[in-house]
Structure formats: structure tokens, C-alpha cells
Chain A
């Protein structure tokens, strides 16, 4: 069964450093998303991406964050100048965008900022 894959599964970074989280969405999907979940809190939407541009972003997704689809398969989330409060599980997700727009999630990348 096709799945969304994410790397790394866990990353520890120093405060102020830049991190890049990588994702390979399901191959026939057209819409890509990043969500995050701070420990013990709900899953929060960050950004959606379609046709090589951001289609929607939340108030969390400020200038510290950026997304890119550098080639035909990868979708990345870059976090600049990481802060302690960026520590969270980051989920990549994808969908066909069709009726109902069922969104499938990757296994997540756990980011710890120290």
C-alpha cells in the first residue's frame, strides 16, 4: 500500500540551528501538507502546497518556516533559527484533493531543540 515516508524519524538540534525535514508523498497525490503536534497537544495545521506553491498557511507558519518541492518526489520543511518551542512531532501528509479530500499522514519526524 502506498505511504507517505518521512526522514529523519528523530532529529536533535541546537537552538538557533536550521533543520530540514524531508517527505516523499504518495506518488499520485497532488496536495501536500505539513502538520505538527507538540507533546500532549492536538495536531495543528502548518501549511498546504499545491502546484508548486503554498495554497494555505496557518498563523504558526511564519517567516521562520519554508517549504519546497525540490524535485518530482520530495517535499521539504525548513525551519530556520530553531527555538525550544519548535520541539514537536512534524507530520507530512498528502492527498489527491478529490471529493472528501482524505489526507494520509507519514510516520512523523520528531524534532527536539536543545
Chain B
């Protein structure tokens, strides 16, 4: 079983729609959860972090965490063509620990 699993996509949504990206993780001791955005050939850029069950909103982005189901999601409202990228889910086991990444979901926002 992969430590962090994501659907590779591509996920195609029309401009202005809500994009929903999902991630599951296998290790129950995971404590912190992150969404990074990666454009082709570029480095991962932090979008959101979430540590507690529930929702966390930042602008057009909402991260959702359900530790009982070992599930993390990212919602992008009012999707824009510039949101077209690969979204990486990453988890760690607490203070100073490494990040373990999923393979990423490629999002395409169409005009």
C-alpha cells in the first residue's frame, strides 16, 4: 500500500467551477498535511497546511482533513486557467519530520 495516494488525473474542470482534489494516507501517526502546487519543471509551492480535523479556508482554497478516514482533500473555488498544475499531497509525522509525497493530481482548468 502506498503511503500517500492520489488519483493522477488529469482532472479537467471548466473555468469558474470548483475543483476537488483527494488524497488518502496509510500511516495513522501522520500529524500534519500539506498541499503543494507544482507547475511543470518547477519546484513544489506550498498552498495549504492542515493539522486538525475539519476545514481550513484560505482565499479560494479549502483544505479538509478527516483523520478517522485518513483522508485529506483540497477544494479550489472559482478555478482559473492559472490553477492548471499538478497538486501534491504531502504528510509528515510531526515536528521536524520529513514529508512523504503522493504522486500528484494534474488539474486542467479549461476556458
| Interface residues of A, Cβ cutoff 8 Å to B | 31, 33, 35, 41-45, 48, 50, 55-56, 89, 91, 95, 97-108
Interface residues of B (CB under 8 A from A): 32, 34, 36, 41-46, 49, 51, 88, 90, 92, 94-104
**Contact between A105 and B103, CB atoms less than 8 A apart:** no
* Closest A residue to B96 using CB positions: A97
**Chain B residue contacts of A56, Cβ below 8 A:** 97-98
A100's contact among B32, B41, B43, B100, by CB below 8 Å, is which?
A: B32
Collect the chain A residues with CB atoms within 8 Å of residue B103's CB.
Answer: 41-42
Give the contacting residue for B100; candidates A45, A55, A104, A108; CB below 8 A.
A45
* CB of B51 to closest CB in A, whole Å: 6
Chain A residues with CB below 8 A from B51, complex form: 99-100
The CA of A100 and the CA of B90, in the complex, are separated in Å by 12
Query: Out of A31, A50, A97, A105, which one reaches B43, CB within 8 Å?
Result: A105
A70 CA to B94 CA, complexed, in Å: 28
- Closest Cβ of chain A: how far from B95's Cβ, in Å? 6
Q: Is there contact, CB below 8 Å, between B98 and A43?
A: no
Select B96's contact among A42, A55, A107, beta carbons within 8 Å.
Answer: A55
Least CB distance from A38 to B in Å reads: 12
Q: Which residue of A lies closest to B38 (CB)?
A: A43
